[in-house]
Amino acid sequence: MTSTRAQVVTRRTYCRPKNEEGTEFETWDEVINRVISHQRWLWERALTHKLMPEMPLKDVTENMNEWQELTVEQEAELEKLRVLMLDRKVAPAGRTLWLGGTDIGKRVELSQFNCCFVSVRTVYDVVDFFWGLLNGAGVTGLAEAGTLTGFRHKIQELEIIPSTRGQNDKGPAENSESWNASNGTWVIKIGDSAVAWAKSIGKLLAGKYPAKKLVLDFSNIRGAGGRLKNYGWISQGAKGLMSAYTQIFDILNAKADCILTEIDMNDIINLLGTVLSTRRAAEALLMHKENPRWREFARAKQGMWENGKEHRAQSNNSLLFYSKPTHGELTELFSMINQGGNGEPGLVNAKHMVDRAPWAKGLNPCFEILLADGNTCNLVTIDLAKFKNDNAGLLEAARLITRANYRQTVVDFRDEVLQEKWHLNNEHLHLCGVSLMGIAMRPDMQPYDYKRLERVVVHAGYGMAEELGTPYPKNLTAQKPEGTISKCYDSTEGMHKPLGKYIFNNVAFSVYDPLVEIMRNAGYRTITHPYDPTAMLITMPVKYDDVEFDVVDGKEVNLESAVSQLERYKMLMQHYCHQNVSCTISYSLEETDEIVDWLFNNWDQYVAVAFLFRNDPTKSAADLGYPYLPQEVVTKEQYEDYVKDLLAIDLEHIIVDDSVLESDCAGGACPIR
C-alpha cells in the first residue's frame, strides 16, 4: 500500500492541474497515462522518421499520411510498461512525469531532459545555459575566459522599468532592442516568454554600444502568482530577473573594456539561477585544477552572505583533475572541504571520466552522467526493492524501461534557441541513464547480480536502437541520488542507507496549502517553519523494514563508515555503472585520514562523489541545537505512538500548492521537475 507521504509528494510534484483555475489535478493513473501517450508519440515518430530519414525529425508530425502507428505487439509492450509505472516499480524521468505528453514537451524537447552540461565561452553558451534552467533542467557549466567581455565602456546610468501587469496579463512574447546614438541610450525590452528571457541575456552580454544610459524594460512581463500555461509552474513575475540583471549590469560595468574572468562568468551564471518560477535552480560549476584561479574558485562561497554574494549558493562547485593528485594535495583539499563545511570543492577525476566517456568534458549537477560540451541526459529508475524474490520480473522490467529510456533520446534539439552542437551530440551519443533505487533494501544482491542486470540493460538499449535504425547508445547505466522519486515509491534513495529504521520526515508546505489543515485534522504534527514564516512543517512517519541498522540507546540508526560507503560506490562502478554513481558520503572529521587514503588508493576507479558532515542519527534536533531536522530518527515506541491515531486522507479532490518546491539538485540531488 502506498504511504501517505508517497501520495502527498507525488501529488504536489508530478500531478498537473487539469483546468486553468488549478482546482483539479491529475490522479497517478492519469499521470502515467500521459507519460505512456508521450512514449507512444516518440515511438511512432521514430518509426515514421525511419521511412523518411532525409526529413528533419522535428518536421515529422502526426498529421502526415506516412505516420506509422504502433503494432499490436508494440502496444502490448507499452501496456506492460504502464502497469510497471502504475505499480511504482519503474519510473521515467521526473521531467517526463511532469511534462510528458504535453504540447510544450513535444515542442521544446529539452524540457524532457533531467540535466545538461555546457562549456561557457561565448554569449551563445550563456543563452544555452539559461535556456536549460528555464526548461527545468539542472545545468553544469565550465567557464572558460577569453571571449566574453564587459561593456564597451562604463555606462553611467541604469534605468529599470518594472512591470505593472497582473498575473494573467500576458505581454508580447518577443524581445525588442533599440540604440539611440544621438543621446547614447540603449534599450532592451524583455518579452513575456521563456524564449525571450533566454535570448535577453544574450542581448545584454553582446551589446557593445558606447552608451551613456541602459534601460532594462520589464513592463511586458506578466505579474507574479499565475500558473504558466505550458510549463505548469507558478510564475514569480519579473522581480527575480530584474534583480539578477541589475547585478549582472554591475559586473559588466566593473569589467568595461576587459575580459571577464571565470569568477565573473560564474557569478553571471549563478545570478541567472535565481530567477526561476517556484523553485531554486539546480546548478554546478567546474574549474580545471590547473587554472591559476582555482583557489579563488574553491573559496568563492566564503563570506558570501556577508559580502552580498549570496547568489553563489546556487551552485555546487568542483575541481577537475586530469592527473592524479598527490597524497599531500588530497590532504590539503580535504582540509579545505572540512573548513568550508559544505562539501566544497568537490573532487572530480576527469581522467577516469574520459576513460569511461571519451567525449566527456563535464558532468551534470548530480555527477552521474558524463557529458559532452552541449549535451543532455534523460534518466529512468528501477526500484530494486519491488523485485525481491522476483529476478525474472526485475530483468523484464529493466528491459522495458531501458527501451523506453532509449526512445526518449530520439528527439530533435533544433529549437529556436539551442546551438546546433546539442542536436549533433545527442544524435551521436543517445545517452541513457538507467538508475536504481532501493539498493539498501536488497542486501541479497551480489556483484554478479548487478553485472547481469547491466548486461540486460545494454542488450535492451542496443535492441531498441536496431529496431529504429538509429545509433547505439554510447552509455546506458548510471546511478542518480533518487531523492524525490524514492519518496514517491516508498523506497530508499539510490545507493544510500536511510538514517534509521524509524524516521520523522518534516516536509515543508506553503501556509496557504489546503493540505496543512487537512493533515492537522488527521492527526499529523504541524508547526511553523522556524526559518520561513510562509511555510509549515508537517511530520510524516517513515519506516524501513528491509534495511539493517545498528542499535544505540533504543534507536535503530545508520552508523555506516565513510569507507564502507565508498566501497559500495566502487562495487557499483565496477559491476553496474557505465558512467558514475551519484552519492553523498556522510562522514565525521575523525574519518578524514581514512577517506584521503581511500581516494589516493582508488583514484583510478573514482569519478566523483559528494562529501558532507554526518549528523549524529542518535541525536534529536534539540540535542544538536537545531529547531528541527528534515529527517529525525526516533525509537520504535515513538513511531508507533505517533502513527496509532493518524487518520486516512483522501487526496483525490484536494488543491495542492507547489510554491515551496525546490530542485533536489539544489541540495545535492536530481531535479524533480
- 87, part of any domain: no
Distance between CA atoms of residues 40 and 46, nearest Å:
10
Inform me whether the pLDDT recorded for 661 exceeds 70. no
User: For residue 625, how many C-alpha atoms fall within 13 Å in the half-sphere facing its CB?
Assistant: 0
Average pLDDT, the chain: 93
pTM over 0.85: yes
- 389, part of any domain: no
Inform me whether the pLDDT recorded for 670 exceeds 60. no
Domain span holding position 163: 150-258
Question: pLDDT band for position 278 (50/70/90)?
Answer: very low
Q: What pLDDT is recorded for position 165? A: 92
Condensed to tens digits (0 to 9), the pLDDT of residues 519-564 reads 999 999 999 999 888 889 999 999 999 999 999 988 999 999 999 9
Q: If you ran DSSP here, which 8-state letter would residue 259 be given?
A: B
Give mean pLDDT, residues 19-32: 87
Inform me whether the pLDDT recorded for 669 exceeds 70. no
- 249, part of any domain: yes
- 515, part of any domain: no
Q: Which residue has the higher pLDDT, 343 or 260?
A: 260
Buried b (16+ CB within 10 A) or exposed e, 518-552: ebeeeebebeebeeeeebbbbbbbbebeebebeee
Inform me whether the pLDDT recorded for 195 exceeds 80. yes
Distance between CA atoms of residues 166 and 168, nearest Å:
6
Distance between CA atoms of residues 426 and 430, nearest Å:
5
Give mean pLDDT, residues 635-656: 85
- 397, part of any domain: no
Can you give 211-251 as a three-state secondary structure string? CCEEEEECCCCCCCCCECCCCCCECCCCHHHHHHHHHHHHH
% of residues, the chain, pLDDT over 90: 83
| Strand segments (E) across 254-365 | 283-288, 315-321, 346-349, 362-363
Question: pLDDT band for position 672 (50/70/90)?
Answer: very low
Nearest 5°: CA angle at 300, between 281 and 204? 55
- 201, part of any domain: yes
Give mean pLDDT, residues 498-512: 91
Condensed to tens digits (0 to 9), the pLDDT of residues 460-504 reads 999 999 999 999 999 999 999 998 999 999 999 999 999 999 999
Grid coordinates belonging to 196 = 525571450
- 636, part of any domain: no
Inform me whether the pLDDT recorded for 567 exceeds 80. yes
Distance between CA atoms of residues 252 and 492, nearest Å:
46
Question: pLDDT band for position 429 (50/70/90)?
Answer: very high
Residue 199 sits in a domain whose CATH number is 3.30.1620.10
* Count of domains observed in the chain: 1
Question: pLDDT band for position 280 (50/70/90)?
Answer: low
Inform me whether the pLDDT recorded for 432 exceeds 90. yes
Q: Which residue has the higher pLDDT, 649 or 139?
A: 139
CB 286, CB 318: distance < 8 Å? yes
Give mean pLDDT, residues 422-429: 98
Distance between CA atoms of residues 327 and 431, nearest Å:
34
Inform me whether the pLDDT recorded for 652 exceeds 80. no
Buried b (16+ CB within 10 A) or exposed e, 116-132: bbbbbbbbbbbbbbbbb
DSSP 476-522: -B-B---HHHHHHTT---TTPPPSBSEEEEEEEEETT-HHHHHHHHT
Condensed to tens digits (0 to 9), the pLDDT of residues 90-144 reads 999 999 999 999 999 999 999 999 899 999 999 999 999 999 999 989 999 999 9
Inform me whether the pLDDT recorded for 666 exceeds 70. no
- Residues with Cβ < 8 Å from 98, sequence gap 6 or more? 13, 14, 16, 136, 232, 673
Distance between CA atoms of residues 572 and 570, nearest Å:
5
For 472, 614, 668, the CA distances from 662, given in Å and listed in that order, are 35, 22, 11
Q: Which residue has the higher pLDDT, 430 or 511?
A: 430
| Angle separating helix axes 72-86 and 391-409, nearest 10 degrees | 110
- Phi, psi dihedral angles at 423 (to 5 degrees): -70, -45
Q: What pLDDT is recorded for position 234? A: 73
Question: pLDDT band for position 655 (50/70/90)?
Answer: low
Condensed to tens digits (0 to 9), the pLDDT of residues 54-102 reads 999 999 999 999 999 999 999 999 999 999 999 999 999 999 999 999 9
CB 370, CB 579: distance < 8 Å? yes
Distance between CA atoms of residues 334 and 310, nearest Å:
24
